[in-house]
Homo-oligomer: A and B are copies of this chain.
Amino acid sequence: MREYNVAILGATGAVGTRMIEQLAQSNIPVKKLKLLASKKSVGQKRYFNGTAIVIEEATPASFDNIDLVFSSAGGSVSKKLLPEAVKRGAVCVDNTSAFRMEPRVPLVVPEVNPDDLAWHHGIIANPNCSTIQMVVALNPIRRKFGLNRIIVSTYQAASGAGQSALNELNMQAKQMLAKQTVTTEMLPVKGEKRHFPLAFNLLPQIDVFEDDGYTHEEWKMIHETKKIMVGDMNDTTLKVTATCVRVPVEIGHGETVYFETGNEEINVEDIQKVIANGDGLELIDDPTTQTYPTPLSAVGHRETFVGRVRADQEEKGAFHMWVVADNLLKGAAWNAIQIGECLVARDLVRVVK
């Protein structure tokens, strides 16, 4: 059995930490694991299957003799270092948005479009957290009944903006409860001019604004959904619109998803049945016993949870549902490691230029 030399780039972040965990629990045969981060983390230790591994600084030479890279160190780091890794023969699963819209880069959710892995050229992009859980939930519905339109509103946790955003939310919550002045340093977007408190508040901005008033996050959900489900980021047969809002939750994104199947013969039970049987999905849906998923109940799980499936009362063939997943696991670390498992199972851990 082939064993792999694996590197995790960005190993100290909220997602990187979980990539180490998820890799340890995966069926990827790891010969050696290298943990890479920026200079300031060098010398720190992380544990993998009980063995301490010292963090090294990420440089192009770090990828010599590496077969498989999982990257979550930010877009600019990925842009700079992943081509170097590929040049050295490594296959890279990138959790940043750096390569997602490149035509030569497959954007993969294993439950939805695993076959797109076959045409990779060294880099496979992991989609945006809020996109992943939505397409996992909609995919079996689309396959069985068709899908014409999606309108989604997100309720996204602080950890989607990284460990420092999570820390900021906690600090702000403590300050507000103690009636102290609230510190605002990075949310909603690090690097933006203005910062607002997220604790006990809602921020209708995730990522920067584009000229048309949409945020980059909203466009990511639109384009990525089309690329993953239809194979074309500019597809016009599947209509998608998103509004993305940051909420004062630590981990776990919620989404209210409205969708039109175009199929007027189906009912709520039909939708519930395909979700209950869908890959990576769990139906948590019984209003009579107040049974529905929440971020707190989803934390630490790999599955995408769906509840509150209802028929739209105004439009035949249209439905609503509530989708929740751990944004650091299915929305990031686990989806990336799962791509790694698929690459191994299909013997695709090799670069074809």
Contacts of A205 in B (CB 8 A): 290, 292
CB distance from A309 to the nearest CB of B (A): 7
Q: Which of A65-73, A112-120, A189-197, A336-344 contacts B (4 or more CB under 8 A)?
A: A189-197
Q: Which of A36-44, A134-142, A207-215 contacts B (4 or more CB under 8 A)?
A: A207-215
Alpha-carbon distance between A249 and B290 when the two chains are bound, in angstroms? 22
Number of A interface residues at 8 Å Cβ cutoff, please give it.
Answer: 59
CB-CB nearest in chain B for A293: B204
Cβ 8 A contact of A202, one of B149, B173, B197, B294: B294
Contact between chains at A204 and B247 (CB < 8 Å): no
Q: Which of the listed residues A202, A310, A312, A314 has the most CB atoms from chain B within 10 Å of its own CB?
A: A202
Does A5 count as interface, using CB distance less than 8 angstroms?
no
Contact between chains at A213 and B287 (CB < 8 Å): yes
CB-CB nearest in chain B for A321: B243
CB-CB nearest in chain B for A169: B200
Alpha-carbon distance between A151 and B258 when the two chains are bound, in angstroms? 9
Interface SS of chain A: mixed
Which chain A residues numbered 299 to 353 have a C-beta less than 8 Å away from chain B? 307-315, 320, 322, 324
Contacts of A155 in B (CB 8 A): 155, 202, 245, 247
Contact between chains at A308 and B194 (CB < 8 Å): no
CB distance from A297 to the nearest CB of B (A): 8
Cβ 8 A contact of A204, one of B192, B209, B252, B308: B308
Known: A204-B294, A296-B201, A320-B241. A310 touches B213 (CB 8 A): yes
Contact between chains at A204 and B292 (CB < 8 Å): yes
CB distance from A200 to the nearest CB of B (A): 5
